[in-house]
Chains A and B, each alone.
Chain A
Amino acid sequence: MEQYTQWVDNRHDYAREWKKRTGGKVVGCLCTYVPEEILYAANVLPIRIFGGHESSSVVEPHILGMFCPFCRDTLAQGLEGKYDYLDGLVIAQSCLHLRQTFWSWKKHVPIDFTYYLPMPHCTQAVGQNEYLRGEYKLFKEAIEKWTGNPISDADLDRGIEIMDTSRRLSKEVYQFRKPRKPALTGLEAMEMVLSSQMVDKVEHNKVTQEWIKELPDRVLKRDPGTRLMIVGSEDDDREFIKMVEEKMSFPATFVVEDHCTGARYFWNETIPESDRLMAIAKRYMDRPACPSKDWPKRTRFDYIFEMAKDWNVEAAILMQQKFCDPHELDMHPLTKAFKEHNIPTYFLEFDVIVPAGQFKIRMEAFLETLVDFV
């Protein structure tokens, strides 16, 4: 889908043009736990901040070298002025590393509005929904004060509808990855989700609606090969996905994934209730959890293996951003669980720039080992 690719490639141009066209405000979001519904309700465009996958030393005085490449790369984008059009910056408390990005950005990059939303560290605690609802109330009030406009229930309904439509459509598209010959590649799926985090979802939804009409008859002229799942940290590395799907001696297709630039972002919808903020809070607490919030039970494992079964996954790539503690803490039991499900795995550690040559050799070797299995 060229439109998705264009949006991802020209994300900054899009946001600037959107501002010009609508006169609205754009808020950068760190982490997918930011309740975009409330921003849409305020007619503010939420976009997710990503790294640039470029080497940069500007973050050295601000973040310790052993913090993850994603937090360093995103801060570099801010310090280098790549997101100079942002009116606001919001984080819903996520991992330690990304919090550091927020603080350094807030301190060193001039910006009109910043908000630190103290999201629960756990999605299984008693009282979590009420607590988060209370935090959303404060967040909503801060947004109202900043924009000068009250947010009504009707506005919140509109925000919820925009988000849920996007989620519903994305999930629908994912059904077309299930057949033996998927109607879309992993790269296309990734670009759909990535772009949904970068542009106005109202426009994005229209494009996806049109695409869904084409998908039943879409036949890809390629051997899908091994059906791969990717599980891990934030992953917007399109180069890697493209390499695996297009440049291997052994064909392969990513048919599904569990990461926050994929299904984990959009998997569940809001269950309506009269208290809109509570409904939103419940949605975020019930979504497939980031490992940092997934305790004492490991709820994400059941979801991962259900997905692996439904999408007929033959092997999994366990990837993580280097130094990503939340994923490192899950990786050992996760690897074990995949073994118990008889699904072969291969572990890769991602940095700001993927070492394409090395990864190509390693992936080819892995795929070759699967030939006898599949």
Chain B
Amino acid sequence: MNTNKNLYPTEPLKTWAEAKYLRNKYYQDFIDAKKKGGLRVSGSGTMYFSLLGGLGKDVWTLTGEPYSATSAYYQDFSTQCMEAVEKAGIARDLCGYLRNYWGGVLLDKMIMPDGTILNEWPKPDFFFTSHYCCTHAKWYQWCREAGGNLPLYGIDVPWHPFTQETTGQRIDYIVQQALEGIEWMEKVTGRTYDDELMLEAMDNEARSSYYWAETCVLNRAVPAPLDEKTIYSLYVFNTLCPHNQEITDFYRKVRDEVGERVERGIAAWSNERFRYITDSQPPWSFLHIFRHLERAYGAVSVGSLYSYALEVNWDLDEQGNLVPAKTPQMLGAKRDTREDAVRAYVGFKIKNGLLCRWYDSEVTSGIMKKIVEAWKADAVLIHLNRGCEGTAIGQMENRLDLMKANIPVLTFEGNMGDYREFDMARTLNRIESFFESMGIEKIES
């Protein structure tokens, strides 16, 4: 093993500052929406965002999962949220994100990305969500009641194109709900829906997905131009407001910059010696574990099915490789009427790559194996996530499948949203022992 510390040139990401700016702006826009006469909408980060587009450009979202990841990062605030939920008699093993969010509602407090705590939970005008796992719509069902019977619309998505054949009847079910959702939004907001704005949002959302998928493909390069901790700060916009023009523009810039880094051989970490992928959301309160492994071992996480594919649309080629899904514009989809446009959008949106794991663990294993191969990973670290049963589903079978394919795998248990369920020292011990068993030497103590 080469123990020279610097094998590759590295430099900071130029788009980093913009990522930080956009993330802060996202939350501030939601807070300020009422002052600007706009609308606040909350729901899952997997929602059908572009459908909101037709209501106007002053509709601001607060997606539950990313917000709650921020909340989880701030342990003191997160503890208050968790305890408020437990005091109310709500089960402690429910989704870690949900408990951070519900805790904020119960405390009437919200935390901003910089740690500022607001002494009022910003009530949305309505909830708009999709529903894949057992939690999504039920999450906002509780919130609507807590908020005094706020309007809620959910889109049920009971199948996935990687695991079920895409048929007209299956697409129809989602299209019908989406079309009804538009009429429902007109009714609850009193606004007239603008199909042109909807189309614009759909184009933006599709391109946001496509640019990010292309960026992920670029990360196959050795050295990797991005490490996963950085990826977490970038992928998130697809779960915040991918239908906004500034997000689409941002993703184009990121893709261009990462492409340029690959051309110039710029590494995320100059000491990259060992590449691995992870699985599931990380324990958000302990992201410094990535930095430790990078510095101490030159071990770089180059991504995961989660960070490549959450709210990002992919196709599977004949060999089972992930290929960025072409946008409706690229496919020349017919979009002359609202229904046609929604149908094209649904046909694209349904290809959300991560969500196949809700519908078949064996298919997920196959994709993970392909990621290991294409992204040249040496191992897989699976976070057995007690905080998200949606991403924990199939993990044990994935482990067996990867081992069968002679891919080294390590599991560690934790919780993305509840730091009380993560043992940092024990986890590090496990990972270090795992690395040791693979002959990975420490290059820095």
Is the A/B pair a real complex?
A: yes
Which A residues are closer than 8 A to B by beta carbons?
A: 61-64, 66-67, 93, 95-97, 99-100, 103-104, 107, 116, 118-122, 125-128, 130-131, 134, 291-292, 295-296, 298, 323, 325-326, 328-333, 335
With a cutoff of 8 Å between Cβ atoms, the chain B residues found around residue A326 in the complex are 134, 138
Report how far A291 CA is from B142 CA in the complex, Å.
12
Known: A96-B133, A127-B173, A295-B131. A121 touches B167 (CB 8 A): no
Task: Give chain B interface residues in 97-150, CB to chain A under 8 Å.
Answer: 131-135, 137-139, 141-142, 144-145
Known: A66-B386, A131-B170, A333-B145. A120 touches B156 (CB 8 A): yes
B88 touching A332 by the CB < 8 A rule?
A: yes
What residue of chain A has the Cβ atom nearest to residue B167's Cβ? A134
With a cutoff of 8 Å between Cβ atoms, the chain B residues found around residue A131 in the complex are 158, 169-170, 172-173
* Interface check B38, CB cutoff 8 A: no
With a cutoff of 8 Å between Cβ atoms, the chain A residues found around residue B358 in the complex are 96, 99
B138 touching A291 by the CB < 8 A rule?
A: yes
Give the contact stretch, choosing among B311-319, B324-332, B359-367.
Answer: B359-367
Number of interface residues of B (CB under 8 A): 54
Known: A64-B392, A100-B394, A131-B170. A116 touches B360 (CB 8 A): yes
The residue that A328 contacts in the complex, of B93, B384, B400, with Cβ under 8 A, is B93
Most buried by A among B154, B157, B158, B170: B158
* Interface pairs (10), CB distance under 8 Å: A62-B397, A62-B400, A100-B361, A100-B393, A103-B362, A120-B158, A121-B157, A122-B156, A128-B156, A131-B173
B134 touching A93 by the CB < 8 A rule?
A: no
Known: A97-B389, A326-B138. A62 touches B131 (CB 8 A): no
Smallest Cβ distance from B264 to chain A, in angstroms? 42
A107 touching B137 by the CB < 8 A rule?
A: no
A122 touching B131 by the CB < 8 A rule?
A: yes
Smallest Cβ distance from A292 to chain B, in angstroms? 5
A99 touching B153 by the CB < 8 A rule?
A: no
* Interface check B408, CB cutoff 8 A: no
A122 touching B154 by the CB < 8 A rule?
A: yes
The residue that B141 contacts in the complex, of A96, A103, A298, with Cβ under 8 A, is A298
* Interface check B438, CB cutoff 8 A: no
Report how far A116 CA is from B358 CA in the complex, Å.
12
* Interface check B3, CB cutoff 8 A: no
* Interface check B390, CB cutoff 8 A: yes
- Chain B 362-405 per-residue mask, 1 if CB under 8 angstroms from chain A, else 0: 10000000000000000000001010011011111101100000
Report how far A325 CA is from B155 CA in the complex, Å.
20
Smallest Cβ distance from B366 to chain A, in angstroms? 13
Known: A122-B131, A331-B90. 17 other contacts (CB 8 A): A61-B399, A64-B395, A64-B396, A66-B389, A97-B393, A103-B361, A103-B397, A104-B397, A120-B156, A121-B137, A122-B156, A126-B180, A134-B169, A291-B138, A296-B154, A298-B141, A325-B389
A328 touching B131 by the CB < 8 A rule?
A: no
B159 touching A118 by the CB < 8 A rule?
A: yes
Report how far A284 CA is from B315 CA in the complex, Å.
33
A103 touching B89 by the CB < 8 A rule?
A: no
* Interface check B429, CB cutoff 8 A: no
* Interface check B240, CB cutoff 8 A: no
* Interface check B94, CB cutoff 8 A: yes
A332 touching B141 by the CB < 8 A rule?
A: no
Most buried by B among A67, A134, A326, A329: A329
A121 touching B176 by the CB < 8 A rule?
A: no
B132 touching A63 by the CB < 8 A rule?
A: no
What residue of chain B has the Cβ atom nearest to residue A94's Cβ? B134
B170 touching A134 by the CB < 8 A rule?
A: yes
Report how far A329 CA is from B133 CA in the complex, Å.
12
With a cutoff of 8 Å between Cβ atoms, the chain A residues found around residue B139 in the complex are 329
